[in-house]
Structure 1
Amino acid sequence: MSVSLKAKIAEVFEEPGCDINQGKSEKERKKGCTKQLSPGAAAGGCAFDGAKIALQPVVDVAHLVHGPIACEGNSWDNRHSASSGSTIYRSGFTTDINELDVIYGGEKRLFKSIREIIEKYNPPAVFVYQTCVTALTGDDIEAVCKRAAEKFGKPVIPVNAPGFAGPKNLGNKLGAEALLDYVIGTVEPEFTTAYDINIIGEYNLVGELWQVKPLLGALGIRILSCISGDGRYNEIASAHRAKVNMMVCSKSMINIATKMEQRYGIPYFEGSFYGISDMSETLRQIASLLVKQGADAELIERTERLIEVEEARAYKRIAEYKKRLQGKRVLLITGGVKSWSVVAALQEGGMEIVGTSVKKSTKEDKEKIKEIMGEGADAHMIDDMTPREMYAMLKEARADIMLSGGRSQFVALKARMPWLDINQERHHPYGGYEGMVELVHEIDRAIFNPVWQQVRIPAPWGDDGETLGAVTPTVMGTSTDHLSAVAANAMGLEPEEIPV
């Protein structure tokens, strides 16, 4: 690992916006919050993966991975981040280094790759990502990027986050550091207004940003840049002229918000787009901060009028669902901002939270969960639930539905319980007032899908209604024997160890 990378990681661990870091002694803080991963064993969930998924939603930039082709395959298109224009971000660019590059160095290959991208695609900038192999062989991507920028007259941004540097969350922050070091503050916007804001840590998953943008537009508020969902290079480069920053996911890019406050005096707050009341509170906070920064005081009145109209419309639309979902129990296995913001949204839909994961949540996230759930919140906050424990909770009907990421879906299917994807791979947007209606609608569809009633009843064949051993019922066209094997694989168990 280069000295500069070590210094950058140490700088990230000094993050003033992290209460955990600031609560440590100086000696403990220098050790950081993570351990290096083993090169070659860092596929997925590594620092490179974190940097790539944090920056890839910048849609008009060419994202070039300097390393073996498998690294690009690992991170390409693993989020449904939508674009309203350019689609070059969906193209997989890699130097695809080979054995000779490992021996002789891959810097020339990298330079040629940058030139080819600029000649063929002419993007406003090229982001170059360091990987384990090229970091170990000593390729100096900063020097190559600097030379290429001088030669071709375009910004070429090095993202020095090799996989073995640490886990994915560290990679998110190293990607953010690349923006702070090389992008933000390098371009002046064509014009500015007193209503310009940046949204940080929002990735426009399935177009969620577009559910919020019209609300801000109705108030005359302009999103100067979104970092990084549906982002544009020049917008992000001019982000230093915004009046307010909104932090959506503090676990990923809090260093951008704190350093922009230090460098440019831009205040920030952490808000949520999930749930009716949280969306309203976010609009109020944006309006209040903008007024403090010089916007017209009438903005607060306009905001309240908009909130009144939108809340009434949203509550009217979810009223029918609320009758059916009243008292339904939800197990929420997610992390970060969703661990508390989705809790509030589900409670507005009349549902009860029997457990929410806080493994990836900050101290502030946990405090908000306690504030929202009130007395007994600690009993519902789960640091780390194993697949076996998830299965037991669902099988014993302590929950009516599980909301989680895709990796947990087979546990729910094995328990013959409804499941809904709430994480980055989801196919439905849940942001804003419209998103809340969509979330409640999807939960209603999942819970009351007739397939669950069918798979729970005994099969009609066999002696005295007992299921014959040679024949097994099916779940959505898939035999439960096959589901057992798939679930066992997902849970890290042998099929015969799965409780039936």
Structure 2
Amino acid sequence: MSSLRAKIQDVFNEPACEQNRGKDAKARKEGCSKPLTPGAAAGGCAFDGAKIVLQPITDVAHLVHGPLACEGNSWDNRGAASSGPTLWRTSFTTDLTELDVVMGQGERKLFKAIREIKEAYGPPAIFVYPTCVTALIGDDIEAVCKRAAEKFGLPVVPVNAPGFVGSKNLGNKLAGEALLEHVIGTVEPDDAGLYDINILGEFNLSGEFWLVKPLLDRLGIRVRACIPGDARYFDIACAHRARAALIVCSTALINLARKMEQRWDIPFFEGSFYGITDTSEALRHISQLLVKKGADPEILGRTEALIAEEEAIAWKKLAAYRPRLEGKRVLLNTGGVKSWSVVHALMEIGIEIVGTSVKKSTVEDKERIKQILKNDNHIFKQMAPRELYAMLSERKADILLSGGRTQFIALKAKTPWLDINQERQHPYAGYDGMVELVRQIDLAIHNPIWRQVREPAPWDCQPALREELPRTKSETASLHVVQEFAGTTADDFGEC
């Protein structure tokens, strides 16, 4: 537990974070996230955050050491996609019971589970996740993993991030610490080159990284490791031989990027593949870093040629949507890198941004938003459901872009909604992804269902013809029922 406490303090003291550097010593120790209250950890704890970062490593067996219910989020982890192994979709848990806790059988049960996974699946590595229960009873996860690794001849990685230690974001960073301590640098590749890069914080949601990788392939740039989207254990173990790195979501793995730069001299920058301009800038910056690290400068010219070609194709496709979407108002209720990258992307085709949330955004994210919008009134840290509903019902926005948690607010307000968070079904990264995002927005806004649902309900109106025709006794009784249900009187029941 003392080693875990030291890791947490190290993560809190993050020199690469401008916000953290501005704090005094006491505030720095408290970290960036609000402390969890008892009973509020479900779905947003450190364990969940660590699992989100590491689960997309597709050929690894992910073993949760704790009660069965803790392994509830493994299947289809946040919509990440794999081009190969499917072992990551299999749930492994020690299923610790009350009797195991009382009898002190936790460590023995964990060792047995590791052996069974090794014999049945033969994975290149096993990641072990302690939970609140096993951390509180004092199971020595690191000792068991070390003994199992020696016994079975494969890496067994302890991911020391039990839920009670903090927030989901803290779990993201502790997962990065586990990779640094036990995985990255453990294998030396025999094909290291001058055009190898790492991409950090990219989860390959809905397979959207597959829209970006072909662009890098055309430039002769090899992705040594994409952490964690569609990753393989061997690739991550060799990630220390990359020449440069792009970090997509700095709030999750900024500590990993910084320490890899310190240990192996891998320079990094924060970029985005959302939107045409940001995609082009990311490609330019990658090429520039590689040239600084020894690559042939001719890659800069090839990068510009590729950008010009792809931008021309994308703008030609988007031209058909501009007359239909120009001037439409969008409200974003998301966070992190999407809080500014999606804003920039939509403004490129003339869409108006009436508001964007910055709940999970870094200081750098907020500064980018201010530069793009040039108006602080369109930035909100957190909007209550009541305020969100009021804004939508008053038609201050033509569409809401958010995650699944707020979709029903939009539907209740009879406003189009599009999912841009991890549950989305369409990839939005790169040039083709931008076209797809605009296409989905166009489909949502111009769906004829919205005109229909905004019309008055049948019981809120009565054709004049109905008043002229004689009613039977049963018809009169039915009419009174409808009026009572709608909260109206006979006088209110006029023409539509």
- TM-score, normalised to structure 1, is 0.91
CA displacement at 1:458 relative to structure 2: 1.2
- Mapping for residues 343-422 of structure 1, pairs under 5 Å: 343-374=343-374, 376=375, 378-422=376-420
User: Deviation per CA, 1:107-137, whole angstroms, max 9, x where unpaired?
Assistant: 0000010111111111100000010000011
Mapped partners of 1:254, 1:315: distance in 2: 33
**Gaps in structure 1 of 5+ consecutive residues:** 473-479, 481-500
- The residue aligned with 1:87 is 86
Q: Is the 8 A contact 1:39 1:132 kept in 2?
A: no
Q: 2:422 maps to which residue?
A: 424
Distance in structure 2 (CA, Å) of the matches to 1:391 and 1:57: 35
Name the structure 2 match of 1:147.
Answer: 147
Counterpart of 1:435, as a letter, is G
**How far 1:371 moved relative to its partner?**
1.5
| Distance in 2 between residues matched to 1:470 and 1:303, nearest whole Å | 70
* Counterpart amino acid of residue 343 in structure 1: V
Aligned-partner residue type, residue 237 of structure 2? A
Q: Aligned runs of 1:65-104 on 2, under 5 Å?
A: 65-104=64-103
Give distance in 1, aligned partners of 2:173 and 2:371: 28
C-alpha deviations, 1:354-410, integer Å up to 9, x for none? 000001100000111112222x2x110111101111101101111000000000000
Letter in 1 for 2:399: I
**Structure 2: gaps of 5 or more residues:** 465-478, 487-496
Instruction: Provide the rounded CA distance (Å) in 2 between the counterparts of 1:22 and 1:469.
Output: 69
Name 1:56's counterpart in structure 2: 55
Residues 36, 361 of structure 1: CA spacing in aligned structure 2 closer, same or farther, 3 A cutoff? Answer: closer
1:174-193 to structure 2, matched below 5 A, reads 174-193=174-193
> TM-score, normalised to structure 2's length?
0.92
Alignment of 1:107-146 (within 5 A): 107-146=107-146
Q: Secondary structure at the match of 2:456?
A: coil
Aligned residue identity for 1:253: L
8 A Cα contact 1:49 1:75, kept in partner: no
Structure-2 residue corresponding to 1:208: 208
- Would the alpha carbon gap of residues 470 and 287 (structure 1) be closer, same or farther in structure 2, given more than 3 Å must change? farther
Report 1:297-336 matches (<5 A): 297-336=297-336
Residue 103 of structure 1 and its aligned partner are, at CA, apart by 1.3
1:469: how far off? 9.3
Q: Which amino acid aligns with 1:133?
A: V
Alignment partner, residue 226 of structure 2: 226
| AA matched with 1:342 | V
Shift of the 313–427 alpha-carbon distance from structure 1 to 2, 3 Å rule, reads: same
* Structural mapping, 1:154-303, within 5 Å: 154-303=154-303
Q: Which amino acid aligns with 1:63?
A: H
Number of aligned residues: 469
Q: 1:297 to 1:213 in 2, by over 3 A?
A: same
After superposing the two structures, state which structure 1 stretch, 200-209 or 72-81, moved more: 72-81
- Report how far residue 430 of structure 1 moved: 0.2
Q: Computing the radius of gyration over CA atoms, which structure comes out larger, 1 or 2?
A: 2
Q: Measured at CA, do residues 407 and 462 of structure 1 come closer, stay the same or move farther in structure 2, by a change above 3 Å?
A: closer
* Worse-superposed segment, 71-80 or 89-98: 71-80
Q: CA deviation at 1:465?
A: 5.5
Equivalence for 2:32: 33
Pairwise CA distance, 1:286: 0.3
Conserved 8 A contact 1:36-1:164:
no
Indicate if the aligned counterparts of 2:16 and 2:258 stay in contact, CA closer than 8 A: yes
Among the aligned pairs, what percent are the same residue?
68
Structure 2: distance between partners of 1:450 and 1:354 = 23
Residue in structure 2 matched with residue 492 of structure 1 by the alignment: none
Listed one character per residue, the Cα deviations across residues 153-198 of structure 1 (whole Å, up to 9, x for unaligned) are 0000000100000010000001111001100110111211110000
DSSP 3-state at the match of 2:367: helix
**What is the rounded CA distance, in whole Å, between the counterparts of 1:456 and 1:271 in structure 2?**
41
Q: AA paired with 2:289? A: L
Match of 1:442 among 440, 443, 449: 440
Find the residue that maps to 2:62 and give its secondary structure: strand
SS in 2 for 1:124: coil
Aligned Cα root-mean-square deviation (Å): 1.7
Structure 2 counterpart of 1:120, which letter?
A
Paired with 2:127 and 2:87, the residues of 1 have a C-alpha distance of 12
* Whole-angstrom distance in 1 between the partners of 2:85 and 2:13: 36
Please say if residues 55 and 77 of structure 2, whose CA atoms lie closer than 8 Å, have aligned partners that are also in contact: no
Superposition deviation, residue 77 in structure 1: 2.7
Structure 1 contact 39–163 (Cα < 8 Å) conserved = no
Compared CA separation, residues 138 and 315, structure 1 to 2 (3 A): same
Change over 3 Å in CA distance of 1:322–1:64 after alignment to 2: same
Distance in 2 (CA, whole Å) between partners of 1:415 and 1:469 is 28
* Residue identity matched to 2:97: N
Question: Is the CA contact 1:159–1:174 (under 8 Å) kept in the aligned structure 2?
Answer: yes
Q: CA deviation at 1:41?
A: 4.5
> Which residue number in structure 2 is paired with residue 16 of structure 1?
15
Per-residue displacement from partner, 1:459-479 (whole Å, max 9, x unpaired)? Answer: 34555459x89679xxxxxxx
Deviation at 1:102, TM superposition (A): 1.1
Structure 1 residue 20: Cα displacement = 1.6
Go from structure 1 to structure 2 and tell me whether the alpha carbon gap of 1:6 and 1:311 turns closer, same or farther (over 3 Å shift). Answer: same
| Cα distance between partner residues in 2 of 1:44 and 1:460 | 42
* Native 8 Å contact 1:62 1:127 kept in 2: yes
